Chain A
Amino acid sequence: MMTAFGAAMAWVEGSGVAIAIRESLLLTAALSAFHLIGATLVGGGALLGGLRIGGVLFPDQAMADVVRPAGRAILLGLSISIVTGALLFSPRASMAVANGFFQLKMGLLVAAAACHAILHSRRWHSEDQASGFLGLARSMLYIAVILAGSAYILLE
Chain B
Amino acid sequence: MSIPQIAEWLEGTSVAVLVRESAWGFPIVVAIHILGLTLSVGMVLWFDLRLLGVALRGSSVSAVYRRIIPWAGTGFALMFASGAILLAAYATSAHGNVYFRAKVIALFLAGLNALVYHRFTERHRSRWDEAARPPAAARMAGLISIVAWATVILAGRMMSYTMF
Q: Pick from B34, B41, B153, B160: contact of A150, CB below 8 A.
A: B34
List residues of chain B with CB within 8 A of the CB of A28.
161
Contact, CB under 8 Å: B38 / A40: yes
Q: Is the interface of B mostly helix, strand, loop or mixed?
A: helix
A109 contacts B by Cβ under 8 Å: no
Could you tell me the distance between the alpha carbons of A56 and B67 in the complex, rounded to whole angstroms? 9
A91 contacts B by Cβ under 8 Å: no
Q: Is the interface of A mostly helix, strand, loop or mixed?
A: helix
Contact, CB under 8 Å: A61 / B59: yes
The A-B contact count (CB < 8 A) is 92
> What 1/0 flags go to A45-73 for Cβ under 8 Å of B?
10110010000011011100110010001
Interface bin, chain B: 20 to 34
Contact, CB under 8 Å: A155 / B39: no
B55 contacts A by Cβ under 8 Å: yes
Interface segment, one of B11-19, B42-50, B121-129, B133-141: B42-50
The verdict on A30 contacting B46 (CB below 8 Å), with A40-B38, A147-B31, A154-B30 known, is no
Cβ-closest 10 pairs across A and B = A44-B42, A43-B38, A29-B161, A33-B157, A154-B27, A43-B42, A69-B55, A33-B154, A29-B158, A150-B31
Known: A44-B41, A48-B46, A58-B59. 9 other contacts (CB 8 A): A32-B157, A33-B154, A33-B155, A34-B154, A41-B42, A44-B38, A47-B43, A146-B38, A154-B31
A-contacting residues of B (Cβ < 8 Å)?
A: 26-27, 30-31, 34-35, 37-39, 41-43, 45-46, 49, 55-56, 58-59, 67-68, 71, 150, 153-158, 160-162
B-contacting residues of A (Cβ < 8 Å)?
A: 25-26, 28-30, 32-34, 36-37, 39-41, 43-45, 47-48, 51, 57-58, 60-62, 65-66, 69, 73, 143, 146-147, 150-151, 154-155
